[in-house]
Amino acid sequence: MHKYHKLLIILIALAFLGGCKQRDTFCIEGNIIGADSCMLYLEHLTLGEGSVAIDSVRLKEDGAFCFRKEAVDAPEFYRLRIGRQGINLAIDSTETVKVTADMKNMSFGYGIEGSGTCDTIRLLCLKLADLEQEARRVSADRNYTLQERDSMIEELVTQYKTEVKLGFIQNHYAAAYSYYACFQTLGTSLIFNPMQDKSDMTWMHAVANAWNEKYPSSQRTENLCNIIQECRRRQAKPREIVLDIDGDKVRELGIIDMTFPDINGHERALSSLRGQVVLLDFTAFSMEKSTERTLLLRELYDKYHDKGLEIYQVSFDESVHLWKQRCEALPWMSVYCEEGLESDMLQLYDVRHLPCYFLIDRNCDLQARQEDIPNLEKAIEELL
């Protein structure tokens, strides 16, 4: 009886081990120095829904952590985040990735072991940080005209794309970091924009072909292929959005309230910002020079937000996915109008071209529109 009992225990143990083996997992572990009592989140960087927290842990004095999740069939992207600092990672197997960082410089001073792909993404992030810093420097340099600054930033982006294409993507089209590079952003604008640049479409097409061959069932492969198909339909021609509006239909109502959903699906009303000076911005992120424009808005927001400035930005982009990518990191209220250029709001505000902005005072009264504002910064200061 004793022998049968021991045999039964062994069989149960083997069955348990066999079951565990079927559930393949990947592991992200490591230490974040100087993060005692901080909450560390593991986020899944999804398609369409933005970043979604899938696990978390409150760090102890040694900063050690370990996240173990079910393995994926094709590369997926994740982020370790504490507050506004984050580390981007790519996982494509049952690998164990070890991350070490100091809380003081978590986003850029971290180290990676166990994944060449994640380490390459680290290099891409550092390279992008250098570009962002240089773009901010150019944008803030008032020794140049706005047109000159736009041209200089465009040159910086072109140089960056060339270096990434040749140094990272070329001959590594199926790599997760090549996909990642295709969707890097400067501000809220895609650096690689196949809708406007045929060269970008060529490189993204190469990545799409490689992913379609290696990961044919992946949602990210489908996303890439859909983008290429859409580019072909539009022939990647940049365009200015112009609206043909009958002026007789325009109504003067002072302030016209509106309610649209933000990136989390929450309905946000313009009137909810009563008591603040509001820059009401109608835009489309798919247009040319949207990156430079966003940088200028960010400069105004950072300078005057603490004094009472808010931005209510309405996107009329055709692609909701593009809008979500561009607005995820914006600090102001960014909402989406699914009616696009058919929206009544464009008629009610007599918007004849995009982008177009208005200034609203603390009493929620419309004070001026773009054409009547020779100096936006001065106009904001007068209302604050």
Task: Give residue 16's pLDDT.
Answer: 45
Task: Give residue 56's pLDDT.
Answer: 96
- Nearest alpha-carbon partner for 258 in 238, 243, 273: 273
* Residue 51 pLDDT greater than 80, yes or no: yes
Between CA 41 and CA 36 the distance in angstroms is 14
Task: Give residue 334's pLDDT.
Answer: 94
* Residue 109 pLDDT greater than 70, yes or no: yes
Measure the CA angle with vertex 207, ends 204 and 208; round to 5°: 85
Q: Which CATH number fits domain 247-383: 3.40.470.10, 3.40.30.10, 3.90.1300.10, 1.10.150.530?
A: 3.40.30.10
* Residue 285 pLDDT greater than 90, yes or no: no
Q: What percent of the chain lies above the pLDDT cut of 70? A: 88
Backbone angles phi, psi at 102, to 5 degrees: -110, 130
Here the contacts of 290-293 (C-beta below 8 Å, separation 24 or greater) are 290/188, 290/189, 290/326, 290/355, 291/153, 291/157, 291/186, 291/187, 291/188, 291/189, 292/139, 292/149, 292/150, 292/153, 292/154, 293/355
State mean pLDDT over 66-84.
93
Task: Give residue 244's pLDDT.
Answer: 52
Task: Give residue 15's pLDDT.
Answer: 47
Strand 96-102 with 111-113, pairing: antiparallel
State mean pLDDT over 245-262.
61
Task: Give residue 243's pLDDT.
Answer: 52
Classify domain 23-114 at the CATH superfamily level: Transthyretin/hydroxyisourate hydrolase domain (2.60.40.180)
In the chain, which residues fall in CATH 2.60.40.180?
23-114
- Residue 326 CB contacts under 8 Å (≥ 6 apart), including other chains: 185, 188, 189, 190, 285, 290, 294, 315
Between CA 295 and CA 336 the distance in angstroms is 20
Q: List pLDDT tens digits, range 194-203.
A: 877 888 888 8
